[in-house]
Chain A
Amino acid sequence: MTASAEYSPDIRGTRGWAEWLDRHCGPIMVLPAVLVILAFAVFPLIISAYLALSRFALAPGGFTLKFIGLTNFRKLLTGSQQYHLLGNFGALGAMQWLLILITAALLLYLLSRYFRSGRVSIVGALGRLLSAGVTMGLVLTAIATTAMGGVPGTIVNTLLYVVIGVATQFALGLGLALLCGRPIRGRNFFRVLFFIPLMVTPVGIAYTFRMLADMQKGPFAPLVQAIGIQEWSWATEAWSARLMVLVGDTWQWTPFMFIVLLAAVENQPRDQVEAATLDGANGFQIFRDITWPAIAPVAATIVLIRLIEAFKIIDLPNVLTGGGPGLATESMTLHSFIAWRTQDLGGSAAVGYLLLFISTVVCVSFFNFVVQPARRHET
C-alpha cells in the first residue's frame, strides 16, 4: 500500500487549525469528561470534606462556618449521635459470639492465605487489612445491634438493604433467567414484561406498595382480614417496615439482574450443553459445570453495579415509611438528608463521607476479590 499520509504543502496551509486539532485530539476528547467530573465530583467532595470538619450556623446576613476538626465524626461514632448512625448495642448471646468468631476466623484465614502466598506487596497488604478491618467492624455493628435489646442504626439498615436486597434480587433474577432461557414459547412476552418494573420511578413504587399493603383499602385487605388481622399495620413495626422497603427494592431491581443474566445464559456454549445432555447429565450438573462458569464474570459485574447503586438508596424508604418507625428504615443517605434539613450541615456531610468510605471500601474490595478473579478464571 502506497497511500502514505503525505499532505501537499497548500493543503497543510489551509488546514493548520484542523491539523492542530487532530494532533491534540486525545486530550481534547477526554477534557470535557474530566472537567465535568472535576466540577461535579472532585470540587464538591473537597468542599464537603471542609463542611464535615466544621460547624455550620446561621448568622445575621448569612452563615458562619467554624472549623472544629473531627468533632462531627466523633459525635456520630462515639458521641450523642451514636444511636442514630450505629444504633444501640444489645447484649451478646452465644449465637452472636459464634457468628463473630466465625467471621473473624474466616477473615484471618483469608489474610493468612494472602501473606503466605509469596506475592505480598505493600499496597496489597494495606488494602486487604483495610478491607478486613472494615468488614469486621460492619459485621460487629450489625450483630451487636440486632442482638437482644439492641436497635440497629442507619449503617446497619443500609447494609441490610445492600446485602439482603442485592442477594435476593440476584437469586430471583438468576432463577427467572434460567427459566426464561429454556426453550419455551412466549419467551419474548415474559422478557418484555419482566423488564417493566425497572422503569418505574422508585418514588412511584413506594406509593404503589403503600397502596397495595394498605390493611383497610388495599387489594389484599379481605385476605388479611380473613386470617383475622384487623388492627395491625406493617408500618408500625421495625422488621415488617424494613421488609416492605426490601420488597419494593426487589420488585424494581430484579429485572435488571434478570435481563443481563438472561443474555448471559443465552450466550452460554450450546454445543457443550447438548453434549452434556446426551451424556446424561442432569440439570444441576449442567448448571454447575457449564452455565455457571459461563455466566460468572457477568454475574460478578452486575452484582457490583447493583452494590454501587444500592448504597445510595433514599427515595424508597423516604416515601414508603419516612424512615420510620423510629429509625428502623432510615438509610444513611436519608440520615444525611434529615441532618441537612435540620441545618446540621457538618453532621450531614460527615454521614455522607462515612457512607462514601464504607461503600468505596466494600465496592472496591468486591471488585478486587470477586469480580477480578471471576474474570481471570474465565480467560
Chain B
Amino acid sequence: MSASKRTLGQRLFEPSAIDRQSPAAFVITYALLFLWALVVLVPLYWVLITSFKGAGEVDNGPFYIPFVDFQPSLAAWDFMLLQNYTLGPYLNSVIVAVCSTILALLIGALAAYALVRIRFNVRLAAVATFILLLVAVIVAVAGLGVTWPVASIVAIALFVIALFTFVSRTQAAVGNSDIEFWIISNRIMPPIVAVLPIYVMFQQLRLLDTQVALIATYTAVNLPIVVWLTRDFFAAIPKDLEESAEIDGASKLRVFATIALPLVRSGLVATFLLVLILAWNEYLLALFLSNANAQTMPVLVSAQNTTRGPQWWNMSVLIVVMIAPVVVIASVLQKHIARGLLVGAVKG
C-alpha cells in the first residue's frame, strides 16, 4: 500500500513500517511518559527549591521559581551542614550502609555459591534437636533463672550426645533447597518481631547505640535477599570452567573467588546497589538500636518534626543530601540493576 492511498485515519493509527509507530500512538506514548516524568519530578523539584527557602518564603504561600518569585538563599544549607551536627549521622549512615552491604554480600554470596554447587545433607533430627535445645536454654535462662553459661554448656553436651546416639540412626534429611528456602524465608519476618530481643542482646553486649550493632543487624536482615538473588547468578553460569579449575587442583574457595565471582559481576553490582539502598533508607531498626551516637540519616530526618512544627527548609536540605549520592550511583550503574534483577526474578 503506497502512502498516498492511505486515508487520514489510516495514516494516524497505522504504523508506516514495522518497528515504527503510528503518529497517534507516538503522541500518546510521549504524553503518558512525560506525565509520569512530571509525577516523579514535581516532588523532587519542590524539595530542592524548598531547601533554598527560608521561613518567610515557605509561610507566605507557595513560590515556585527561584530568582523569579523568590530569592533563594543558602541559609538552610548553612544551618544544617555547618552549624548543626548533620555530618555525624551522615557519616554513620555511610559507614553502616556500606559496611553492612559488603558484609551481607560476602556472607550471602559464599552461602549461595555453596548451596548451588555443593550437595548438603543435614539430618532433620539434628536440626530438630538443635531447635529444641535452643528453646530449652531460653526457657531455662529467662524463666527458671539458670545462668546462661551453665545452660549453654549443658545444651551443647546434650547436642553432641544426641548427634552420636539417635540422630545418626535417622534417615530424614534436609537438602539444599530446604536450606535455601529457610534462609530466604527469613525475609518475610517483619523486623518489628525481632527488634526487641535484638535490642536486649546488644544491651547485654554493651553495643547499643554503636555502628557495630547497626552493621550486624542490617547484614542479617539483608542476607536473605543477597542469597535469593546471587544463587540464581551462580546457577546460571556453566559448571565446566569451575570443574576444570578444580581438576587442576584449585580449592572450592579459590574457584569461588577467582572464577565464579568475576563471572557474576553484573548481578553482584545489582544486588549491591539494591541492598545498599535498603540499608541506606532503613528506619525502624535504626530507631530502636541507635540514639545520639550512632544515629543515622532517616532517624535524623524523622526527628525534624519539632514542637514548632516541621521546618521544611531544613528538612529539605537533609532529604536532598540523602538522595543525591544514591541517585548518582544508581544512575551510573542503572543498566546492571535491571539485568541483575531480571535474572533473579526469572529463576528465583
A-to-B contact residues, CB < 8 Å: 1, 3-5, 7, 18, 21-22, 25-27, 29-30, 32-34, 36-37, 39-48, 50-51, 65, 67, 172, 175-176, 179-180, 182-184, 190-205, 207-212, 216-219, 221-222, 251, 259-260, 262-264, 267, 274, 277-278, 297-298, 301-302, 305, 308, 311-312, 314-315, 318-319, 332-333, 336-337, 340, 345, 348-349, 351-353, 355-356, 359-360, 363-364
Contact = CB atoms under 8 A, between A and B. Distances in A.
B34 to A, nearest CB: 9
A221 B46 CA distance: 13
B207 interface: no
A30 B118 CA distance: 10
Residue among B29, B43, B227, B253 having the largest count of chain A Cβ atoms under 10 Å: B43
Contacts of A184: 21, 26, 29-30, 33
A298 B20 CA distance: 27
Given A199-B330, A298-B346, A315-B284, A208 B186 contact: no
Given A29-B113, A65-B142, A333 B298 contact: no
B345 A301 contact: yes
Contacts of B305: 319
Interface in B207-221: 216-217, 219-221
Contact of A204 (B42, B227, B301): B301
B248 interface: yes
B110 A221 contact: no
B111 A30 contact: yes
Contacts of A202: 281, 283, 298
Contacts of A182: 21, 25, 29
A193 B44 CA distance: 11
B142 A209 contact: no
Nearest to A187: B33
Interface stretch (B1-9, B57-65, B73-81, B82-90): B57-65
B91 to A, nearest CB: 16
Given A42-B134, A183-B19, 8 more contacts: A26-B252, A41-B194, A44-B201, A51-B196, A51-B197, A200-B322, A208-B47, A298-B345
Interface of B: 18-21, 25-26, 29-30, 32-33, 36-37, 39-44, 46-47, 50, 58-59, 61-62, 64, 107-108, 110-111, 113-115, 118, 120, 131, 134-135, 138-139, 142-143, 179, 183, 185-198, 200-201, 216-217, 219-221, 223-224, 227, 246-249, 251-253, 256, 277, 280-281, 283-284, 297-298, 301-302, 304-305, 310, 312, 315-316, 318-319, 322-323, 326-327, 330-331, 334, 337-339, 341-342, 344-346, 348
A37 B39 CA distance: 39
13 contacts: A1-B247, A29-B253, A32-B107, A37-B223, A40-B194, A67-B143, A199-B323, A204-B301, A207-B310, A207-B312, A274-B19, A352-B192, A355-B190
A212 B49 CA distance: 12
Contacts of B44: 196, 200
B190 A359 contact: yes
Contacts of A21: 251, 253
- Interface residue SS majority, chain A: helix
| Residue in B190, B191, B319, B337 with the greatest tally of chain A CB atoms within 10 Å | B190
B192 A44 contact: no
Given A26-B114, A33-B108, A348-B196, A259 B341 contact: yes
A52 to B, nearest CB: 9
B62 A219 contact: yes
A32 B110 CA distance: 9
B192 A345 contact: no
Contacts of B216: 36, 40
Contacts of A192: 331, 334
Contacts of B201: 39, 43-44
Given A183-B21, A219-B46, A219-B64, A30 B342 contact: no
A210 B310 contact: yes
Given A29-B110, A50-B138, A260 B179 contact: no
Contact of A219 (B42, B120, B331, B341): B42
B298 A298 contact: no
A6 to B, nearest CB: 9
A27 B30 CA distance: 54
A221 B304 CA distance: 23
Given A22-B253, A312-B190, A319-B302, A29 B114 contact: yes
